[in-house]
Chain A
Amino acid sequence: MATTLECALSAPKTVKAGEPVEVVFRLTNPTAKPLYVLDWHTPLEGLLNDIFQITRDGTELSYAGPMLKRGNPGADDYVAVAPGASVEGRVNVALAYDFTQPGRYRIAFRGRLMDVATQQAEVPHTLDGFRELPVKCPEVETSVLAP
């Protein structure tokens, strides 16, 4: 499947310790056909898994949010991305990763979409029919300042 999606992350350059750290995740469909993206493990569904790799001054942070065991997805777990269009998800990563210490934080999306379909009629796929698609989102940096 010659599909591709472009991914971009953005985050505030600086925040004060204790403030939210809102990361915007944007997927763009550069192809001429609509794509149907399972929102699991992406900020399109919120922060429900350890989807970011985050370091503070080089030390990896542990994830403290929820971890779900899931069965087959439903059709409403997919987000349609029209040709040339983008979809966005915003999450406050400070809810699940410890941003209370001042320092330089690097935030990377772990970099895959669990399932992407090219035909609306195909979705939802069952778990064993997923077509995973890696995406590369350039990582972003945020500095947390002492409050």
Chain B
Amino acid sequence: MSLNPRGRLNWWMGAVASVSLLGACGAPDERAGDALESNETVQDAVAGDVAVKLSVEKSSLAARDNVLVSVTMTNVSSRAVRLLKWNTPVDGLKEDLFKVTANGISAEYNGRHYKWAAPQATDYLNLAPGESVSSKVDLASVYDLSKTGTYDISFASAAHDGVSELSSNSLTVFIEGRPFVSPEAEAAPGTVNAMALSTANCTSSRVTSVTTAFNSAKTYANSAVTYLGGTPSATTRYTTWFGTYSSSGWSTIKTHFTSIKSAFDTKSVIVDCGCTDSAYAYVYKNSPYRIYVCNAFWSAPNTGTDSKAGTLIHEMSHFTVVADTDDHAYGQTAAKNLAKSSPTNARDNADSHEYFAENTPSLP
């Protein structure tokens, strides 16, 4: 096989261009001749001869996960057929063979493109009738999956010199955004800012803003603990966010804020700026103390209602080892209604903790 790898090439705009470029080399005639001589009984697959099935082991992938897609190609025709290997992933992904979209927007292919010379017999994958070949590819290493969201993934190799298009089922996978790192590039180091706070995937201006928010969140946690250390009673601030007063309810909230304060003061918290979802932020409850901040976070004020600092309180309260809160209601109005309708759920609601801590407007 004689390949001329060129790495990432800007002039190569996708699979369609390959047809004319190959044509420009004057190679097709030569290739067709060679291939026919060595493979007289095996014909090029035409549309419908080869079924392509994609599968993933998990339909929801965290940023730390690879995006491993299994590709199974089955000759469903009644004759032996052949495919050009570079239109398949059998030897690794060497072309933009997948259609990867999130909300209709294509993820950029950053993998290799090759300029192919005339194929030899060994460049073909032969499939007997009924025969299947499977291979796995990690799409995260070649497609830019930096946006968190639901991705549609299908196999879509375009027609190359007579081999008809292979297409597959479409997979729907939730992928947590991860910065695209070219396999050749070094992983960008995170920034360590203070004893307890580090950041990942943040620009320097975002590191500054996260650090400010982190310090304000600490202040919020301290103030909440101080407030709850006072004499328990049906204060306006408590009942607004957590409903009917009871000494056990007060004590639960005090325990929650003591844990939140302790986590901000003593744990290694990582704020990850890699998320581009429209939400404020998210965490995995069982993965303390990594907090992913998203688009709405950046337009939020540092302190006050639905602020950056308050969002960090909200997220910190979710961790199972901190306060193990859930999201029963979002927003101040719904949180206030929840306090009235279900104090039990209010005491388990992350936004209720956030609004109690933000205390905006200030309640006695």
- Which residues of A come within 8 Å of B, CB atoms? 20, 41, 45-50, 62-71, 74, 76, 91-92, 95-96, 114, 126-128, 130
- Which of chain B's residues have a CB closer than 8 A to the CB of A70? 278-280, 296, 330
- Please state if B60 and A95 are interface contacts (CB–CB under 8 Å): yes
How many interface residues does chain B have, given as a range? 35 or more
- Please state if B59 and A92 are interface contacts (CB–CB under 8 Å): yes
- Please state if A127 and B334 are interface contacts (CB–CB under 8 Å): yes
Check B314 for interface membership: any CB of A closer than 8 A: yes
- Please state if A128 and B331 are interface contacts (CB–CB under 8 Å): yes
Interface of B is mostly: mixed
- Which of chain B's residues have a CB closer than 8 A to the CB of A127? 330-331, 333-334
- Which of chain B's residues have a CB closer than 8 A to the CB of A47? 60, 174
- Which of chain A's residues have a CB closer than 8 A to the CB of B277? 68
- Please state if A20 and B59 are interface contacts (CB–CB under 8 Å): yes
- Please state if A69 and B282 are interface contacts (CB–CB under 8 Å): yes
| B176 shortest CB reach to chain A, Å | 7
| B118 shortest CB reach to chain A, Å | 44
- Please state if B174 and A130 are interface contacts (CB–CB under 8 Å): no
- Please state if B334 and A67 are interface contacts (CB–CB under 8 Å): no
Indicate whether A69 sits within 8 Å of B60 (C-beta atoms), given known contacts A46-B150, A64-B284, A127-B333: no
- Please state if B350 and A69 are interface contacts (CB–CB under 8 Å): yes
Indicate whether A66 sits within 8 Å of B150 (C-beta atoms), given known contacts A46-B60, A95-B59: no
- Please state if B284 and A68 are interface contacts (CB–CB under 8 Å): no
Q: CA separation between A132 and B18, bound complex, in Å?
A: 53
Digit string of B325-360 for contact with A (CB within 8 Å is 1, else 0)? Answer: 011001111100000000000000011001000000
Check B320 for interface membership: any CB of A closer than 8 A: yes
- Which of chain A's residues have a CB closer than 8 A to the CB of B262? none
A63 is contacted by which of B285, B296, B315 (Cβ under 8 Å)?
B285
